[in-house]
Structure 1
Amino acid sequence: MRAFLPTGDPAQPVVIAEVPEPTPRPDEVLVRVEAFSVNRGETFKLEAPVRGERPGKDVAGLVVQPAADGTGPAGFARVVGHPMGGGWAEFAAVPTSALAVLPDSVGAVRGAALPLAGLTALRLLRAAGPVLGRRVLLTGASGGVGHYVTELAAAAGAEVTAVTRDAERGARLAELGAARVVHDLSDAHGPYDIVLESTGGEALAGALARLARRGLLIWFGQAGRRAATLDFFDFFNGPESAVIRHFHYLDADTTIGHDLATLVHLTAQGRLHPEIGRVADWAHTATALTDLRDRRIRGKAVLTLS
């Protein structure tokens, strides 16, 4: 079968090659991939690829071989899955615990846009706790995660302030429910009950300064790729006794499959709208990766297999 392999070259991060078809473990299904999405974090990992690993975590397609242990969907079921690798290919082996069935109303393109970004947003808001009536500040809001967080948090009753440098992307975040959109962190005045920070560098200290006393800051990314420095005494200027929590989307009490099913259900009901900035044939995967890395794509990029 054909699959994308990493090159280590930032200008051409992947190339297509012939590789053996995966052999599923007893608790895995074999999926014929119809669409997959790429994530900005994956572009960073491709700069220093691990020998033998194949990239790809977000896939949608058709089950062509059910799991040998009898778990998961039957053959020919349409599914969305989140394997830990190998998804940018014609076929992917996906654990049954990381699958959800797609209804007819949710196509493969929208399904493929859900997993990593949607799981991160859903679990991030669970970590934040009840948000009804709470003031929430979201940095780095114009990516795939940011759109999902904005829509889910606003629907749950939060007053969301989204930070994005792009006016067009800001207008879309307002449509999804953001109460305020600012183009620089300095324009977000606060104080905020909850801060969801994904930029790192100087932005972390700036976001912390806008947190309310005993508030919660969840640090879920470092998209700016710059280390952050905090001063202990800054807490006394406003966010006294605040909590800073590190977040990783795989550290959860529910299975990936359970939460994927929730995301699919919300999408099917028109309560969640995957923000897809580009859909292209998978031959253009390398270009999509470099454009996503350089912030030329709003939301998600999805590649389709003919």
Structure 2
Amino acid sequence: MRALEPTGLDEAMVAFAEVPEPEPQADEVVVEVDAFSVNRGETFLLAGPRPGWRPGKDVAGRVVRAAADGSGPAEGSRVVAHPPAAGWAERVAVAARSTAVLPESVDAATAAVLPLAGITAVRLLRQSGAAAGDRVLITGASGGVGHYVTELAAAAGIEITAVTATPERGERLAALGAAQVVQSVAEAKGPFRVVLESVGHEVLPATLPLLTSGGRLIWFGQASRQPSALNFFHFFRKPDQDPFAVTLEHFDYTRGERSYGEELAELVDLVATGRLHPEIGLRGDWTGAAEAIAALRARTVRGNVVLTTGEGA
């Protein structure tokens, strides 16, 4: 079957290759892929790929082989799924517990952008403990996670301030319910009970003075690809003020009380009932994968990137 494999080249990071058909475990289904999402984090892995690794964590399509142990969706079911890798292919094996059945009202291309970004957003908000009336700041908000966090939080009565690189990239966030959209942390009007930080470098320490005492800074990404340095005096709002206590937490989306499939079923229901609107900034055929990856790495795409493999999307 055909699949996209890493080339190790900067100018065209993936290319088509013939690979073996997936060999599922007893608790895995085989999905014929109609569409898949390209996540920015995966594009960094393409720069120095591990031997034998193939990208692809977000897919939607149809089950062509049910799990041998009887778990999960039946053969013929339309599903969205979150495999650990290898989803940029005609077919992929996925744990049955990492799939959710799609209603006819949700197309494959829309569903394919739900897994990584959507699960991250749901679990991030859950870890934050933010509730109605709380003020939350999110940096790097114009990517897929930021759009989901903004809409889900606003629907829950949380006041979201979103930081984006340009006003144009923030327009959709305002439409999804962001109370304020700014182009830098310096423009944000604190204080905030929670900061959701995904840029790193100088941005992370700049958010600390904006927290309330007892607030939480949750670090869920480092889009800048540059490390952050914290200074002892970052924990003083001004030189003449008392220090304030905050919690700095790392976020790992793979840790959750529920399975990926349960999270996906919730996200699919939100989309089907019009309560969640995935932002697809680039949609194309998988023959244009190399160009789509370049656009995502250059941060010229607002929201998610989805590529289709055939007519099923």
TM range (shorter): over 0.9
Shift of 1:233: 3.0
* Cα deviations by residue, 1:8-56 (Å, 9 ceiling, x for unpaired): 1121110001111111110000100000000001111111100001110
Structure 1, unaligned runs of 5 or more: none
Structure 1 residue matching 2:244: 3-state secondary structure = coil
1:274 aligned residue: 278
Distance in 2 (CA, whole Å) between partners of 1:181 and 1:79 is 35
Structure 1 counterpart of 2:108: 108
Which aligned segments of 4 or more residues in structure 1 are displaced greater than 3 angstroms? Answer: none
Aligned match of 2:189: 189
Q: Distance in 1 between matches of 2:200 and 2:140?
A: 10
Return the alpha-carbon distance in structure 1 between the equivalents of residues 130 and 145 of structure 2.
19
Residues 231-246 of structure 1 correspond to what in structure 2 (within 5 A)?
Answer: 231-237=231-237, 240-246=244-250
Shift of 1:165: 1.4
Equivalent residue number for residue 173 of structure 1: 173
Question: Partner letter of residue 295 of structure 1?
Answer: R
The alpha-carbon deviation at position 169 of structure 1 amounts to: 1.8
- Aligned residue for 1:12, secondary structure, equals coil
Q: Classify the secondary structure of the residue corresponding to 1:209.
A: helix
**Alignment partner, residue 304 of structure 1:** 308
Q: d(CA) in 1 for partners of 2:209 and 2:225? A: 20
SS in 2 for 1:206: helix
Map of 1:295 onto structure 2 = 299
Find the counterpart in structure 1 of residue 225 from structure 2: 225
1:262 equivalent in structure 2: 266
Cα distance in structure 2, aligned partners of 1:92 and 1:273: 26
Is the contact between residue 138 and residue 163 of structure 2 (CA under 8 Å) also seen in structure 1? yes
What is the one-letter code of the residue matched to 2:96?
T
Q: In the aligned structure 2, how far is the partner of 1:249 from the partner of 1:105?
A: 28
1:284 maps to 2:288: yes
What is the identity percentage for the equivalent residue pairs of Structure 1 and Structure 2? Answer: 58
Q: TM-score, normalised by structure 2?
A: 0.96
Q: Among 225, 247, 251, which residue is 2:251 paired with?
A: 247
Q: Which residues of 2 match residues 3-14 of structure 1 at below 5 A?
A: 3-14=3-14
Matched residue, 1:207: 207
Amino acid in the other structure paired with 2:145: V
Aligned counterparts of 1:86 and 1:244: Cα–Cα separation in 2: 33
Structure 1 residue 131 displacement after superposition: 2.2
Identify the range of structure 1 (34-43 vs 225-234) with the bigger mean alpha-carbon deviation.
Answer: 225-234
C-alpha separation between the residues in 1 aligned to 2:10 and 2:257? 36
2:290 and 2:94 mapped to 1: Cα distance? 23
3-state secondary structure, aligned to 1:229:
coil
1:137-156 residue pairs with structure 2 within 5 A?
137-156=137-156
* Mapping 1:86-165, distance limit 5 Å: 86-165=86-165
SS of equivalent residue, structure 1 residue 237? coil
Are the counterparts in 1 of residues 209 and 236 from structure 2 also a CA contact under 8 Å? Answer: no
After alignment, is 6-15 or 219-228 more displaced?
Answer: 6-15
Which residue identity is paired with 2:200?
G
Describe the SS at the equivalent of 1:48.
coil
- Amino acid of the residue matched to residue 257 of structure 1? G
> Post-superposition shift, 1:265?
0.6
Counterpart CA distance in 1 for 2:163 and 2:47 is: 27
Q: TM-score, normalised by structure 1?
A: 0.98
Per-residue Cα deviation, 1:233-279 (whole angstroms, up to 9, x for no partner): 32132771110110010011111010010100101010000000111
Provide structure 2 residue ranges, at least 5 long, that are not aligned to the other structure.
none
Task: Out of 143-152 and 166-175, give the one that drifted further.
Answer: 166-175
**Distance of 1:59 and 1:251 partners within structure 2:** 20
